Structure formats: structure tokens, C-alpha cells
Structure 1
């Protein structure tokens, strides 16, 4: 029995050839088919050079397990999510390594209605069957049909805005040579047909698996300059950059400044609560004060969940929440089967810019001034639990309120920190936020203080 190391907490991700190859992909497809026995599922892949062959191997495994496949071609993850709840299918698989390095690939798997398959909801069973290689023969093999989901997907996206209310906007869009470009082109056609006055300035637009402009990962500071510079050059109202499978988008204001995902959560909560007060908004525990402030101001109900898409989606389903947001730029929507999307957020922000007649910088500047934050800072440490305990012990004398929803959050009234071990990498992640009016100290000084404890 060969141990497969590409199975992670939320998805499949591994180094090409050594951890993930066509043989492994075939086994994943075969195991998915045998365990869930769907009649038909959707399969798509991102733009990476290895993705098409891995997708074909996965499809072969599914067909051999008796599953019919709708091959969506090159797609973002959310197009597979959309297909899995919109079409008459019982699941979906996207072959993608998102923002990982060139020599990686992976898969994201869902069941009917786009319910996530992660380590505690079926991924371990798929791993065990793929490792054991004990597959049943089926009487009738499945067939594969190509399917273009783009027109239906774009039609769905347009339901999040009221076209007649959109004011003229100029948007810089940076697909990072990833998979997002074809959706932007299709939206542009619809905007023109419906007289929606949004103009796109496209950079790094064409899908190219060699990633000539670097891996599409706008969370890395060094990857932000091209979007920022284009916003200033073209005097745009907003810049938008996506990761490789465009399930996350990152926003830049009209001054070319990158906006932390944390404040976008507040902005989207505001957008939904302006439409209807009383709705539930789910957020993660890493940074919370701004979200709580906005949700209270616009008469919503804030619900905290552990970080990670499987947890957020579950809590949203249980609470019937209209929206869920993580500071890591994952945004989830009830009308999108509780899945994350990198297309819906910027559409909602465009609508908010139109409705409020404000610039993006003015919409977020009060949030940033009121609740400055550090952004997520990662540390490589040999023993995460020892370090967390050291921080815990050091601050015990201050008697902070303690929350252990995800890692450890310590709230001192004027500032708070969250420290947690990464679910996907050998890292410790730190977030700090401050109440500007009460702190008397900068975020940076708290970061220096906690960093000294971590690296001691």
C-alpha cells in the first residue's frame, strides 16, 4: 500500500511527480466514484501546464467507476462550485494548485450542492481507498461530455448587482495570467449589452500556465505593484487581482493602496445589511473588532466561526447566514450555495461605490483608522504549542479575556491578538489589532513585543 502525502486538511495538494501524478489523479477519481456513487459530476481545471492531463486522468477514474462527467474545460474553482449546485449533478472536482509554486498541483472536491469534502467529511475515506487500490469493477462505465458553463455562471453573477444603479467605473483587472480572464471577458460583453458603465483595464490578462508575471498570489507584497501602478496610471476607481483559481480576489483603492481582506469583510457585511438588516454575518476569529462594529452599526447579527472554508460553510448553513468572510480574502455567499467566490466581492463593492457615491479609500479609511491591524504575520517555529503557551503565560498577569475558537485569542480591551498554528503549513500565524482611540500605542509596538516572545 502506497502512502499518499498529497491529502491535506481541506483539499489535495502536492509536488508534481513525487506526490501527485496522473496515477494518483486516476485513483482519486476512481475512489470518489466508488464512495459517493454519483450519477454525474462536473470537473474543471486551472491553467497550469500539468492541470489538463491530471484532469483527464481524474475523469478516466470517474468514468471507470461508472460516473458520467461534464468536462467544464479550463475553469476557476468557483465555476465548478457553481456547476455542482446549479446543474443536475451530484458533485464536482477542480484540478488546481491555486497560488502554490509552479511544481505543485492539487484538487478541490465537493459533493451535491457543493458541500465541501475535507478531512473530516470524506477526504480521508477517499485517501484510504486510493491508497489500498481495491477498486470494484462496474457493469457500465461512465461517459464524458464537454459543457460550457460560462454563460450560466455569468448570468448568476449579474444577480448580485442592480445594473441600472451602477455609475461609471473604471476598474483595473489583473488575472495574473491565471484562469480569471475568460470570466472578465464574458462579463464585459454582458456589461456592454446591458449598458452597465464599467470599463476594464486588463493586465496580465491572458491565461498562461508558464506564469510569465509570477505565480498569481496577490497576498505576496512583491506581487502587488503591477496592479497598484496600473490603477494610478489609468486613474481607475479600483484595482482587482485574483489568485490562480480566482476563488479569492484582492482589492486596491483609487490611490493604488492594497486593502487588507479584514476591511473588505466589513465592507461586504455593510453591503448585505444595507439591503436587509437583521441578517447573520459569519466571521473568523483572527481579526474581529471592525466586523463586529460594522455589523452592529447596520443592525445585523455577527456569528464567529473557526477559520477555514469547511468550518465557515458549515456555520453559515446552520445559521442561514447571508455572508461569511475571512481576513484571508475568502468570501462566502448564501446564494452561491455557501461557497467562496472571487467574482462576487468586487461586483458588490462596485455596487457599493455606486450607491454611496464614495471612493473606495473613503469607504474603508474610517475602519482602518478606528481599528488598525497588523495583517497576518507568519513565523517558522519548531514547536508551535510551546510558543503559544509562552505567549499565554507572559500575558496571564494582565488577565485578558481568552477565546480558543481557533488558536488562542487574547483581548486586552485596548488591543487583542490571535495566534494559531497553520492548518496547511508548518507556520505560526499572528494577528494583532488595536482600538485606536484607547491604545496610546501603535500596532507595530505590539507586534515587536509579541515577536520578541515568539523568537525568544
Structure 2
């Protein structure tokens, strides 16, 4: 008998695959047993909390996973519908490991699981996920003899609605009660933002009314995504929001991905605001708050990944705080934040992490910071963000390659003819400092291999568009030769 392999389903950071061929109740049950053994019981937790997004397969998969956990004697708390940051809230507030059934922005036929330890601490490839995969594979092999003996007592199952508590908690972190009135178009993409935005920014959770006029786009929960993919990182999925903001005379627009853990922003003109600019904006606010609470700025840390804009560490340095650079991926960001006690962390992909949210990422809290920053002054968002667009970026460009290592070495050889600094924290990063003049402008690039696909991912940034395009095109010519 061929041994079961879940390598196509269990990725570096989470579980994600098509339903039912890769992920189905039988597989979810095995993963639940494995999660109970590797995380819940091993950590000494009494149980775990489980949630799902709006995908039709979510409730059945979540229940099968819960039964796997309960079969090992651990309790489960089902919170039902939730955004991923809602699950992180539950994990932090209840101090329990958690499992969130979501495939984020992936198409309708997908589902997956994001796992965490108590306090929303990440479970990734090097922090338990590989062990969970191995154990689940054993359980799925009929001849493995690995089926565990039944627990002396089956774990209990309870249901709990935490939406109002989640909303109240976020309201307590960013005060929006005294900002000027703002009109905000929100594109939920038929994802979980349509569930959480009314609770947090409206009065759906019984909270006081805020000076916000919310114009909803696609708030109906629908895991088939009938209007557009719930992936605002792809420009085509921002088109409706970009048109609606000026059409409604709104002050800004917000777009959430499918599980609402990422938030994208467009200004009053409908122009996208880069996640790096949002990272810099929130970094300023969080450092200022820490200093106002008595911290020495030099002791405050902010984390960013290797492909955020060069302006991010610049802005952090301008506040007097320390910039901590790390690899791309939530497990690396969260680990560095915990190590340095960082107040905030940001990624180019619009994941934003907060110390006051258990170092976890929450698109909603990021959105609230943007609303607060805009609402506390009279200028439009384009003016507020004007000094946070200092460089020209290519965005991430993927190239299919047969030998990523060889292509990377060819780019390294190309760089030897240029005045660059090199590092390999995450892929190959080349930095040309320049002399600050138009004749010798700054540029940098990062070339990273995908963990799961035969792809090389290129990001280039420069002081001017012409330089960015020149470096981009030269490197792509090498990679795609």
C-alpha cells in the first residue's frame, strides 16, 4: 500500500488544498487528532478553540477536526463563523490553542486550516506543523498500526459567540469616537469582512455609534465569491473599490481578503496605498503611543520583512525606535516580535501584527489605525500619506523556472559587476546605496524561491521609476533566459 502523503496539503505555514480530494472530513479528523497530540496535550492545554469562515465546507470540516481533538480527551470550543483574527482573539482571550478553517483568498474549491498555540502563537513548519503532518499521515494509513487507543474520557464540546467581545477589544485599542466624520467604502469581497466590519465599525455588536458612514460592497457572505476573488493583492480585485470611492465622495476605501486578516487601503482619489506606506504610518503611531506611555524610543522595536519598502526602516529610525528585519512569513514576523517585544510588525502583503493583539496579525486593527490617523486631521488621505511614498517599487513578480538555484547564481554573478551589498537572510538581497544623486540613485532587489512552486519571486525598488524598471528588466532577462 502506498503511504499517505499530505505534503501537497500541509504547507510551510498552514494547511490548504482542494475539497474534497485533498481536504475532507477524514483528513480533517486525522489532523484534529494530530493537533491534539502535538500541540494541545503536549502544551498542557485543556482544549482548543475552532472557527471557520464562510466557505460551505467549513462547518463539516471543523466538526470532523473537533471530533478528532475530543477523541484524544481534549475539550473543544466552537465559535462558529469568524475572521482569522477573530480566531486569534479567541486563542488569546481564552488562552487556548486554535484552529481556523479558511483558505483565505483562494478560490471556492479550496479550504484549509491556520493553526496556533495558546495566546495565538504560530504553528509553522518548524514549530509543530511538520510533526502534525507526519502524525496525520500515520493515522490515515490503514496498515500503520498508529490508531491511538481511545482516551479515558472524550473531551467536551461547547459553543461560544465571541464576535461582540472581539469588537469591544479592538475598540479598546484604537479610539475612534472623537475623529471627524468619515465616509468609508468597504469591499468585503463576500468574505468575513462582511461579518466583522458591522460589528467593529458599526453598531452590530451593541457598541456606541462611531462617526463613520460605511458604504458596503459585497458584504453578503458567499464562499463562491460571485463578484471577484477576495484577494486585494491582485489589482483587478480592487477595481470596484477604486471606482466606488470617488463615486460616493468617500474619504477612503478599505478592502479585506477572504478571512479578513489582511486590509488594503485606497485614498480619496481611488489610488491604492502601498502596504509598506501603511506599515510606516502605523509604526509611527505605535512608537508614539509607546513613548507616551513612558517607554524610551530607543527601547521600542518594530519588525518588517526583507521586501517592505526601504522607507519602512527609514521611518522607524526617524521615530528613534529600532527596526528589526526578518524573513517573509507570519511565523518569522511573530517570532521576531516576541523575541524583541516589538510593538508592531508589517509585511508587504498587508499583514499587520500588533503586540497588543498577542503579536498576531489583524487587518481590522490596521484599518482602525488608518481611520484614526486620517480622522484626527483635516487633510485628505493622499496628503496624509504623501511623505510615505518615497521610492518606486516593482511589486512582486513571479517567474517560472526549472532551476531556481542556478538562476539565482546568475543574478549574483550579474551583481558582481555592480557596487552592491549582499545578504541572504531570505533569498538573495542586493542593495546599491548610490550617492543620492540622479546620476547614481539607490536601488535594491530581492530574489526568493517559492517554498511550494517552481517560482522565483522578484521585488525591485529604486529612487526613481527609470532605475527601478532598468534593474527589473535586466534581472528578469537573466531569470527568464
**TM-score interval, normalised by the smaller of the two chains:** over 0.9
SS of 2:461's equivalent in the other structure is: strand
- CA–CA separation in structure 1 for the residues paired with 2:206 and 2:265: 23
Q: Which residue of 1 aligns with 2:273?
A: 259
| Pairing partner for 2:69 from 62, 75, 78 | 62
1:210-246 deviations in Å (ceiling 9; x for gaps): 2111321111111111111111111111111111111
| Pairing partner for 2:194 from 181, 184, 190 | 181
| 1:29-428 equivalent positions in 2, closer than 5 A | 29-35=32-38, 36-37=40-41, 38-87=45-94, 89-133=95-139, 134=146, 135-187=148-200, 188-189=202-203, 194-277=208-291, 278=297, 279-368=300-389, 370-413=390-433, 414-428=442-456
Q: Structure 1 residues 20-29 or 260-269, which shifts more? A: 260-269
- Output the aligned Cα RMSD: 1.6
User: In 2 relative to 1, CA 425–167 (structure 1 residues): closer, same or farther, beyond 3 Å?
Assistant: farther
1:154-180 deviations in Å (ceiling 9; x for gaps): 011112222343111111111100112
Structure 2-normalised TM-score?
A: 0.91
**Is contact 2:107-2:224 (8 Å) kept?**
no
SS of 2:287's equivalent in the other structure is: helix
- CA–CA separation in structure 1 for the residues paired with 2:134 and 2:151: 20
**Is contact 2:275-2:348 (8 Å) kept?**
yes
**Is contact 2:305-2:346 (8 Å) kept?**
yes
- CA–CA separation in structure 2 for the residues paired with 1:287 and 1:74: 32
- Could you tell me how far 1:129 is from its partner in structure 2? 1.2
User: In 2 relative to 1, CA 292–410 (structure 1 residues): closer, same or farther, beyond 3 Å?
Assistant: same
SS of 1:73's equivalent in the other structure is: strand
SS of 2:227's equivalent in the other structure is: coil
SS of 2:398's equivalent in the other structure is: strand
**Is contact 1:287-1:433 (8 Å) kept?**
no
SS of 2:307's equivalent in the other structure is: coil
- Could you tell me how far 1:268 is from its partner in structure 2? 1.2
SS of 1:397's equivalent in the other structure is: coil
**Is contact 1:287-1:432 (8 Å) kept?**
no
- CA–CA separation in structure 2 for the residues paired with 1:191 and 1:4: 40
- Could you tell me how far 1:128 is from its partner in structure 2? 1.4
- Could you tell me how far 1:136 is from its partner in structure 2? 3.1
**Is contact 2:83-2:196 (8 Å) kept?**
no
- CA–CA separation in structure 2 for the residues paired with 1:182 and 1:287: 30
1:66-117 deviations in Å (ceiling 9; x for gaps): 1211111111111111111101x42000011111122211100011111111
- Could you tell me how far 1:397 is from its partner in structure 2? 1.7
User: In 2 relative to 1, CA 226–67 (structure 1 residues): closer, same or farther, beyond 3 Å?
Assistant: same
**Is contact 1:282-1:324 (8 Å) kept?**
yes
**Is contact 1:16-1:104 (8 Å) kept?**
yes
- CA–CA separation in structure 2 for the residues paired with 1:116 and 1:12: 13
Structure 1-normalised TM-score?
A: 0.95
- Could you tell me how far 1:446 is from its partner in structure 2? 2.2
User: In 2 relative to 1, CA 115–183 (structure 1 residues): closer, same or farther, beyond 3 Å?
Assistant: same
Q: Which residue of 1 aligns with 2:463?
A: 435
- CA–CA separation in structure 2 for the residues paired with 1:267 and 1:34: 42
- CA–CA separation in structure 2 for the residues paired with 1:347 and 1:323: 14
- Could you tell me how far 1:13 is from its partner in structure 2? 0.9
Gaps of 5+ in 1: none
SS of 1:34's equivalent in the other structure is: helix
